[in-house]
Each structure stands twice: as structure tokens, then as C-alpha cells.
Structure 1
Amino acid sequence: MMDESVLYGRSLLKEDIPFLLTKDIEKQLNIKSAITTKGDKKICTRCSTQLNLSKRYPCVCGSTCLYCRECINMGKVRECASLYSIPDPCVFKPFDIPCLSWKGELSEQQRMASNQINENIRNQKETILWAVAGAGKTEILFKGIQMALENNKRVCIASPRVDVCLELAPRMQKVFPEVSLVVLYGGVEEAFKYTQFVIATTHQLYRFQDAFDLLIIDEVDAYPFHMNKPLLFAAEKSRKKISSLVYLTATPDKKMQSRIKNKKIEAVILPARYHGFMLPVPQAQYQKNSLRMNKNIEKTRLIKHMKRLINQKKKFLLFVPTITLMEKLQPLLASLFLEISFECVHSKDPLRKEKVLDMRKENLDFLVTTTILERGVTFANIDVLVWHSDHSVFTEAALVQIAGRVGRSSKYPKGNVTFYHEGWTRAMKRAIRQVKRMNRIARSRGLIQ
């Protein structure tokens, strides 16, 4: 079925358009060369990457063409290709009643943050919401999103992580039940449709052009978005020239903190969680990392800790640094916990969504995970153990986010975080220091008990 709305605010290769272009549609099109020439340079129009002029390959056009390797997962941008779009008319059905259907209440600090963000959205400003994990960032955004939607604006929340998008989408659809919404990520089975509200991974922004009046980028410090120039370019390209941009993070990098300090970006800072309890401070325990080589494995602190939690019927996450180490650890844990239900999950796991859901439904006693679950997912009542916390993959930001999985629920605001290590790292020290600092600031403001 032909529907030109799939091109509204989009930037698509011809082969990605699900219908043949008619003369009527061609009259509406903006057509750009997929690769542009700037002086003696060739630049990908979609992601801004400079191409290697010596890398020409035989092409379907019958000649030899350059193509962009950076954004190839979104379809091959060839030198002979074009990108097609139709200006976004942004005309949506008006709401007869308020589009936000949420009965919750914000805390005083959440309400103040919400008001400030709403004002910045109204004035098309760039804002960063720096809030500790579990501060209720999503709820703080509700009023600002509502204001944009009811003023016929188009809204996008983008995240570097699929898991975050999958958790966020049903929450947003529930509180904005009358708003058209689509969820976009690699491998999604749902066909694209033109909607007022988009939730997408940051890579999906490559396919948008001048589309959004309000762009919210969640976990801006997370891989693969962090310090990724093509994705930063895609984000800027996806929003309209006059629009609002809101960054969300619990762990801004030094560059972002410098922008905040020098007042180059408006910052809204929340040092406490919405329920008023302090952040759990990680504790460090010495533990040799060569678990699988240890003949007395059952006597190690880590395994004793895990057994103690199981006996207490306490659910927990066990973070490991790499898939390789997880694969070596899995049979060992299976032999030690014969009657215990657990799973291992990582970024390449095709059953990742199902396993996370099983953990959330409390069908599992514990879940072993890589850093794929360091952020963006919530479990009501868990502890967290980090094995080999001195590994280089566990940066300061990663460890702070991992610690932030604990104590998020108002029903279960407390819990324990344990870093098992063979030696202290700067990242471990800074992560613990950052958590303590946020607790001090929150206490000085009277925000925690």
C-alpha cells in the first residue's frame, strides 16, 4: 500500500522506500546526493563520515563507487545513490482531553526539575537532566512531553540501548494512551509508520531529517552514543532547526560537566532518588578472579555470598566483564547451583528480552549479565554483585550505573552492592566516591532520610 507519510521527516535510500515513487510524490520530495563533495573530500550525507578515496568497489550502477562503512548497517550509502525525504507536515489529530494519563505525584525536587525542563522546552533550549539512577527521570519528563504533544509537536526519545527502548515504550504508551507511537530498533518486526511519538535507538536517527520538535536522548554517556561523532551528527540532523534537546544521564562525562560548569548548557541536577532514601554505597571485597581454576571454589567469598542470598530468597544480578568469561563461568555455576533457576544474558543473546522479563517476573533466582544491563532496566528488589570489578570494561560510569540497579523501588529502597576484585582501580574508587558525594549533596539539601 502506498503511503507517502513514511517519508515525512525521513532520510531514506530508494531501496528502503516500500513503494514505487509516482510523479505526484516526486513533486514533494527533497532529494540529496548520498555522498557529497567538499573540496577534495567525499562525505557521507547521512552520517558525516569522511570516506577513503582509494576504497572504490564495483557497484550495481555498472561503475566503481565509494560507499560509507560507518552507517552500513542502516543500508549501503553509495556514491551513485540519493537520499529521499518529504518535509514533515507535523499535523496530528488534536486532543479533546489532556493526553497525559498519569495518576502519580512528583516529589518536591522532581516537581521543581519538571518545571525547569518544561520552561526550557517551551523556549527551545538545550538542557541536561543530571539525575542519580532511580531519581525518576522518566516521570519528570511527562509534563514536558505532554506540553509538546498537545501543541502539535513531534517527539522522540532515543537511547543507545535496545533494552531501554523496550522498557520505555510500554510505559509511555500507558501514560499517553491516545498518542500514536512507534518503537524503532535494529531487527524490529513492526513496520515503520508515521507517528507523533517515536521511541528509537540512536542508530535509527540516521534515517530522520528535520523531524523532531523535541528530542530526548537517554543515557547520553552510554556506548555506542558517547563520543560517537556520526551518531551525534545524526541526532542533530534528526531534529528541526528550531527545536528542544534534552540529555538524560546519571554519569555525565568530563566534557559535559565542563559545559555545565561554564554555563554553556542548562543543567537540572537531582542528587537523590524520588523515595528519599540514600543511594546504596558499594562495598569492595577481595576475590581472586581465576574462579574456574579454584579447586575450593565453594569456599570463595563470591560463591558463599551467592549461596547466602539464595538461602535468604534474595534475587540478585551478577555482573561479569566479558562474554568469554561468562561462557567459562556458566557451567561452573550450573554445577554449583543444581536446584537453582538462573540464566546468563549478553548483547548477542537472541533470548535477551525473554530472560530479562523472566527475571522481572521473579521466575529466576539470579541473572548473570555483562554490562548490557548496567542501565535502563529496573528490578524491584535485588542485590548486585560485580565479579572482576577491576577489569577495564568496568569504567567509573559503568560501576555507578550498575550500583544504581539497587534500591530503586519505594517498597524496597535498600540493598547491597559488592565489587569483587583482585586490586583497586581508579574507576572503582571514583565510582564509590561519586555515590558518596551525591548522598552528601542530597543530605545537605534535606532530600534523603
Structure 2
Amino acid sequence: MDKNLYGREISSAEWEGDPTILEVSQKCPAFNMENGKWRCQRCGNSEQLIKGPCDCGDDCFFCAACLNMGKLKKCTLLYSLPEINEFPQLTHAPLTWEGELSTEQKRASDAIATTWAERGERLIWAVAGSGKTEMIFQGISDCLQAKGRICIASPRIDVCLELAPRLEAAFSGIPLALLFGGMEDAYCYTQLTIATTHQLLRFKAAFDLLIIDEVDSFPFHNDKTLNFGAEKARKPNGALLYLTATPPREMQKRVKQAKLVATILPARYHRYPLPEVTCKWLGDWRKSIQKKNRRSLLMKYIHQLIQSERRFLLFMPHIGLMKELENWLHLLYPELSFTSVSAEDPKRVEKVKAMRQEQYRFLITTTILERGVTFRDIDVFVIGTEDRVFTESSLVQIAGRAGRHKDFPTGLVWYGHYGQTRAAKRAVRQIISMNNEARKGGLLHAKLSDV
């Protein structure tokens, strides 16, 4: 029996194995009629159904909501095999990580292990830089020893790429699959999987432990199809963990109403406060770029960062303006090594890796680097926080890029704007509030001068 179909639910067009396996697998229509509406069984969509010509007849249609995963038509069949956890029984603890957890990390780690043991549901609400990845190791280890199947899913490819080598190092004897759109390697049945949340649409009752990292991130947040896919991918009695520094307001409400258990960590693992934000008035910064005004406030602050001889990130709301600024800065500072990166950049992985290896003085980026990436010692300057792309959540996450390393726990964070927004004000307050909670709990070093 081909193991690659265990816990999967896919069409024949997606199957790359022995075709005779499909003949003995479970089969179901890609669409079912529910409450008077046709519903896609892969993504749960019942609205974006588009009619089109088909050999099966004139009444056929396909699902537009999950079209990027391959076309599903009314006449399509989905094939699956129940997950039977066909993994070897481990004779030793699979966790090879030898680091030590802080007291707060250990508290969260114990809560995660309990959630797995009880097959429960929990939110880990931990500030950026608190060391969330290390907190999940023990829960994963316990699940592996029980022959459970685990998936760590994130809406962002960059987060998955960051997590993969860390999980491989922490569980060096356990095969790991990394799944994302456009991956070159073929799918392989493994006990430990890292995947984008889109990839969960291809699973059915597969995972005993499902961990969704950056649950508030685009595109998972408010996307009913991705939430449907995540629920479908988890076993009915599987444990579910949400990880984030900035849970959505709806999730915060569920915590307050005691409908969702939460473990809250207001301090970073190195026990220094989150860098607090300074707001900078930029005036019409877009015009400054378009007119190439070297005396503008925007250029004053960028020049100040360059003169400081520190490495930094420049966050911008739109790709066009980002490229325009990059080209101008190359003319002004031809001796400096820097570049830009966005979701559309085919070299984004290589560029982020080069920034991590300190080959660039600074990186100009869109919000794709707002979370899930760590650089050793940087400052952060957000340009144009008045743009609606910069939500409260994204601004808090962006601020969390600074001061993450234990040897470099401080850094500048500037919100540059052409008019303050409610989102920016809330982000500033949230960071201050978390620092205050950490101080009240005695979780910070007594003096910042201890750095």
C-alpha cells in the first residue's frame, strides 16, 4: 500500500503514485449538497462556484476559491485513505535540542504538553522574540513518542522556511516534510510536517497535533476556506495549538469569555523589554520619493540610520514605491550594499538569507518580513504607517523584529507617518502594555543598563 495517500484527500490529477491505489481507496464527490447549496469538500466554499463546459454535461461547475490548488469540478472524485499512523515505535526521546528554556518558556512548554496529552485546544499568546519555537519542542516530542502525526502550519512561506532547519536540528533523527506552493520535491509521507496553511486543504483527519503559527497572519486570518482546511486536516480527537504575538480581536474575546484556554507570555526569553516605538512625522513622503527631495524628513531619517552604521530594515506599504526608493538610494549611496524584497521577488529566499548572514547593510521590504524572521542586531523603520496595509497586528510584529537576540536585546523602532492612525496608536499601546505586564510579573531585568 502506498503510504503517501494516508491522511490525504486529493483528486486523481494530483496523485503521483501507483494509480491502482486509487481503485482501492475511499472515494467521495468533490461537491456535496448541504442546506440547498453545493459545497466544495476540499475548501468548504459554497459561493464561488463557476459554471463551465465539461464532458460530463452542461450543469457542471468548478470551485474558484481553491482553484490555485488545482481545478475541482462537480464531476471530480476525491480519493483518500484513513491515517493509520504507520510509523516506527521510537525507543528513545526524539528531541535532540540541548538548549535550556527560560522559566516562562518552560511554563508554556508544560502547558503545550498538557494540551497534547488532553487532546485539547490552546492559544499561546507570546510576544515577538519570546522563543515560541523552542516552546513547542516538548509537545512535539511527546506526540512523536506516541506515534502521533504532527503538522506545524503557517500562512507565510517565509515562516515555514525559517522553521524547517530549526525543527530538523531539534529532531535530527525524524524525517521532515516541507510543503508549500511551487516546491520542487515530491510529497512524502512523514510523521513531522511543516506546511503553509493552503497545503492543509489536501489533508483529511491526518494530524494528531496541529500547530498553527502566526494564526493572525494574512491570508489565514478571516479566510473561511483556510480555516475549513485546518479543521479538516486535524483528527476529530486531535490537539490544536495557535501561536501568535498578536491574536485577532475575536480570539482575544474568546479568551476573555473563557471559551479558549490561553497561555500568555508578556516577556522575551532574554528578559529585556520590547523596544518601544518612536513615531516620526514624515510629511508627504510619497511626494518626497517621486520628486527626489534630498532635504525631506524621510531622507533625513534614512540618512541618520545610515550614519549610525547599524544594520536596519525599511518597511514600505507598496512594491512600486519600494522599488522607486531603492533605485534612488542606490544613486545616493552607491558604496552601500542593500536591496529590496517582496512576495513577487523570485530571489526573496536568497536575499533574506544574505541579510541574515549580514551581507547587506539594510533591506527594504514589504510586510512579507513582518514576522517569522530573525536578524541578529537591527533597527526598524516603518515608512507610511497611515497606509491601511499596516494593521495593529502587523505593526506590532514589525516592531518585534528589533532586539530579538540575547546579545543585542535593544534597537530603534520608528513609525514614520503622514498622519497617525488608530492602528498605529493601538500598536504602540500594546507594546507598552506588554512591557508593563512583564515588569509587574517580575519577568524583566531590574535595569535596562544591565544590557
Provide TM-score, normalisation by structure 2: 0.96
1:230 has 2:208 as partner: no
Q: Structure 1: how far apart are the matches of 2:231 and 2:51?
A: 29
Indicate whether 1:374 and 2:374 are aligned.
no
Match of 1:106 among 94, 98, 101: 101
Alpha-carbon RMSD: 1.4
Structure 1 residue 247 corresponds to structure 2 residue 242: yes
Task: State the Cα deviation string for residues 171-206 of structure 1 (Å, max 9, x = none).
Answer: 000010111110000000011000000100000000
Aligned position for 1:333:
329
Partner of 1:16: 14
**Secondary structure in structure 2 of the residue aligned to 1:268:** strand
- Whether 1:162 aligns to 2:157 is yes
Equivalent in 20, 23, 26 of residue 23 of structure 2: 26
Q: Within the alignment, does 1:355 sit opposite 2:338 as a pair?
A: no
3-state secondary structure, aligned to 1:243: strand
- Provide the identity percentage: 48
Instruction: Name the aligned partner's letter for residue 3 of structure 2.
Output: S
SS in 2 for 1:89: coil
Residue correspondence of structure 1 range 114-133 to structure 2 within 5 A: 114-133=109-128
2:292 touches 2:328 (CA, 8 Å); kept in 1?
no
Aligned partner of 2:78 among 66, 83, 90: 83
- 1:266-345 aligned at under 5 Å gives the runs 266-288=261-283, 289=285, 290-294=287-291, 296-297=293-294, 299-345=295-341
Q: Distance in 2 between matches of 1:283 and 1:32?
A: 56
Please say if residues 385 and 419 of structure 1, whose CA atoms lie closer than 8 Å, have aligned partners that are also in contact.
yes
2:427 alignment partner, SS class: helix
Q: Which moved more, 1:61-70 or 1:279-288?
A: 61-70
Return the letter of the residue paired with 1:220: V
* Distance in 2 (alpha carbons) for counterparts of 1:61 and 1:313: 66
TM-score under structure 1 normalisation? 0.96
In structure 2, the residue matched to 1:419 is: 415
Counterpart code for 2:27? I
Counterpart Cα distance in 2 of 1:52 and 1:322: 28
Quote the residue 2:3 is aligned against: 5
Q: Hey, what does 1:221 align to over in structure 2? A: 216
1:184–1:200 Cα contact (<8 Å) kept: yes
Q: What residue ranges of structure 2 are gaps of 5+ in the alignment?
A: 446-451
CA distance in 2, matches of 1:285, 1:256: 31
- Counterpart secondary structure, 2:122: strand
SS at match of 1:251: coil
Q: 1:63 to 1:20 in 2, by over 3 A?
A: farther
TM-aligned CA deviation for residue 330 of structure 1: 2.1
Structure 1 residue runs of 4+, over 6 Å off? none
Give, in angstroms, the shift of residue 62 of structure 1: 5.7
Task: Give the Å deviation of 1:269.
Answer: 0.2
